[in-house]
Amino acid sequence: MMDMDVAIEAWVSGLIELNKLEYVLGSGKTWRPGEKLKLLFAGYNGTRNTGSDIRVEEIVRQIRKILGEQNIAATVMTQNFELTRGYFGDAQQVHLPDVFPPFLNSEVRKHDGVIACEGSMFKSKFANALSAMMIGALGIASVRNKLSVAYGGEAGAMDSLLQKMCKRYCRGSLVITRNPESQEVLGKLGIATELGADTAWTFEPLGSDYGTKALLDAGWDGKTPVLAVAPINPFWWPVKPSLTKSLAHALAGSYEKSYYRTIYFHRSGADVDLAYAKYLSEIAAGVQGYAENHKVFPVMIAMEMLDRDACERVAQKIGGAPVFCSDERNMYELVSILRASHRLLSSRFHAIVTSMPAGVPSAGVTMDERIRNLMHDRGHQHLLMNVDEPDLADKIAVALQRLDSDAEEIRESMGRCVVRNLKMMSRMGVYFEEHVARQYPDFPIRTGVLGWEDYLPPLEGCLRHLLEKYDGAIAA
């Protein structure tokens, strides 16, 4: 039986080729001066993955700033309108079905360009189907001579067919990565890239009052240091489609434990369960080891709805702790709670990114290259651990102690890192604006002398404070 990932990748590839032929034969509408530029923001939204939602929120805000709100019509893909209600400003939201190739084929051609927004854009770690969707959106736009931009994404290990798709269909796109390591991966495929940053750096949550009140309502005494912990299930990836499992699940309820949705299933088995249980136990033991000598109020942060199980199980192991989950808190609320905390231990990349502007010292327990690359950028490799390394609990306890003893140095390094990434994000905006000017020479690009902040959405609060402190020491 054919691998369903292979079937989806072949389906997407076939649709890109079909669109190429149709364009050669003269099919398709192009943007005309005086019209709004219709942009499709292609991302993994509508599952309350806080990081993914924040990335798209900030990309939309940045592009509006650069091109002018009056000049664009933004459309954002979502898998659940209810879970993205109130997000992405006044952008139109369009439903992304689980079986997505026909949707891409019809939706991309309605727009003048595609901006691929997913952070884990080119990798097999989470789901080949997700990367195939990003490549499909970029590829269809590219062969139709539309704007085709991969914005602040990351590349990692890819299956061979996914590599071939990326190499064939992304060469005509503007590809901006969020770190040099991703540039190296794509460079080996012959894909030219520009260096940028993640796009969550400009995010501004609700004020500190919200986070403080949420913690107080959960039992915090207002004095004891708050330790936020953001665990995940690192071992049930990748998600893969399976018609056989889907049929068995529908008819007999089989594979319920690994069921994700529709035709998609998490990786499963005794080895997965054992590794997951060990990881959770090590997280809990590390927190408890630290708490033996440090009075602390632990809270669990579920950055994605899927993280609730991990949070609840760690909370139980340490004798109870409040759980703040993205199924009940939107991104503005959840990040406010993160920023009201005093320390962070996280397996979620965007929990670290979004807490850094508030100076919350953090350590990472990583399953892939994302947190590793970030900690390298910060100069904090000693605060990085792998999800499956030996003696993880002891290393977590030591890392948490370093968050206390080296707090000021860590804050200094993080502050500089934030400002550095803001400037890289600004540079992304320059690349994007230049690309639009090349693709659509008649588009009303801004004129006059512009500073680097003119390529970012408005910066407030913590970000403004960091800029005042470090801007002069970091070149734009």
Return the H-helix or E-strand segment holding 263: none
Calculate mean pLDDT across residues 443-456: 94
Give a yes or no: residue 212 inside a domain: yes
Residues in the chain: 476
Calculate mean pLDDT across residues 415-430: 97
Return the H-helix or E-strand segment holding 39: strand 37-42
Q: Measured between alpha carbons, how far is 384 from 236 in angstroms, rounded to an integer?
A: 21
Calculate mean pLDDT across residues 337-352: 98
Q: What percent of the chain has pLDDT over 70?
A: 99
Give a yes or no: residue 427 inside a domain: no
pLDDT at 268: 92
One domain, residues 193 and 270: no
**Among 426, 460, 455, 421, CA closest to 67:** 455
One domain, residues 61 and 146: yes
Q: Measured between alpha carbons, how far is 7 from 475 in angstroms, rounded to an integer?
A: 47
Amino acid at 419: V
Mean residue pLDDT of the chain comes to 95
Q: Quickly state the pLDDT bin for 474 (edges 50, 70, 90).
A: low
One domain, residues 226 and 171: no
Give a yes or no: residue 374 inside a domain: yes
Report the domain count for the chain: 2
Residue 239 above 60 pLDDT? yes
Calculate mean pLDDT across residues 124-136: 94
Note whether 174 and 366 are within 8 A (CB).
no
The residue to which tokens 């995940």 are assigned? 232
Least confident of 257-266, 321-330, 332-341: 257-266
Q: Quickly state the pLDDT bin for 475 (edges 50, 70, 90).
A: low
One domain, residues 187 and 233: no
One domain, residues 224 and 195: no
Q: Quickly state the pLDDT bin for 472 (edges 50, 70, 90).
A: confident
Residue 284 class from Cβ within 10 Å (0-12 exposed, 13-18 middle, 19+ buried)?
buried
One domain, residues 8 and 86: yes
One domain, residues 183 and 226: no
Q: Of 202, 224, 256, at which residue does a domain stop? A: 202
pLDDT at 231: 98
pLDDT at 253: 86
Residue 362 above 80 pLDDT? yes
- Pairing verdict, β 174-177 and 147-153: parallel
Q: Of 156, 186, 202, at which residue does a domain stop? A: 202
Residue 116 above 90 pLDDT? yes
**DSSP tag of 127:** -
Q: Measured between alpha carbons, how far is 465 from 262 in angstroms, rounded to an integer?
A: 46
Residue burial 166-184, b: 16+ Cβ < 10 Å; e: rest: bbbbbeebbbbbbbebbbe
Residue 451 above 70 pLDDT? yes
Note whether 314 and 284 are within 8 A (CB).
yes
Residue 1 above 60 pLDDT? no
Q: Measured between alpha carbons, how far is 203 from 414 in angstroms, rounded to an integer?
A: 16
Give a yes or no: residue 272 inside a domain: yes
Q: Quickly state the pLDDT bin for 445 (edges 50, 70, 90).
A: very high
**Among 227, 206, 234, 179, CA closest to 367:** 234
Residue 277 above 80 pLDDT? yes
Give a yes or no: residue 448 inside a domain: no
- Alpha-carbon 462 to chain mean position: 21
Q: What percent of the chain has pLDDT over 90?
A: 89
Q: Of 157, 176, 202, at which residue does a domain stop? A: 202
One domain, residues 232 and 175: no
Number of C-beta neighbours around residue 18 at 10 A: 13
Q: Quickly state the pLDDT bin for 173 (edges 50, 70, 90).
A: very high
Residue 2 above 70 pLDDT? no
Give a yes or no: residue 155 inside a domain: yes
Q: 476 or 391: whose pLDDT is higher?
A: 391
pTM (two decimals): 0.95
Residue 261 above 90 pLDDT? no
The CATH code of the domain that includes 131 is 3.40.50.2000
Give a yes or no: residue 371 inside a domain: yes
Q: Quickly state the pLDDT bin for 18 (edges 50, 70, 90).
A: very high
Sign, Cα dihedral of 175, 176, 179, 180: positive
One domain, residues 267 and 150: no
Question: What would you report as the CA-atom Rg of the chain, rounded to the nearest whole angstrom?
Answer: 22
Residue span of the structural domain in which 175 resides: 4-202
One domain, residues 165 and 75: yes
One domain, residues 400 and 302: yes
Phi-psi region of 75 (alpha: psi -120 to 50; beta: other; left: phi over 0): beta
One domain, residues 146 and 261: no
Calculate mean pLDDT across residues 389-402: 97
pLDDT at 309: 97
69-93 pLDDT, tens per residue? Answer: 999 999 999 999 999 999 999 999 9
Give a yes or no: residue 20 inside a domain: yes
Residue 473 above 70 pLDDT? no
pLDDT at 415: 97
pLDDT at 28: 72
**Among 168, 60, 78, 57, CA closest to 122:** 168
Calculate mean pLDDT across residues 430-452: 95
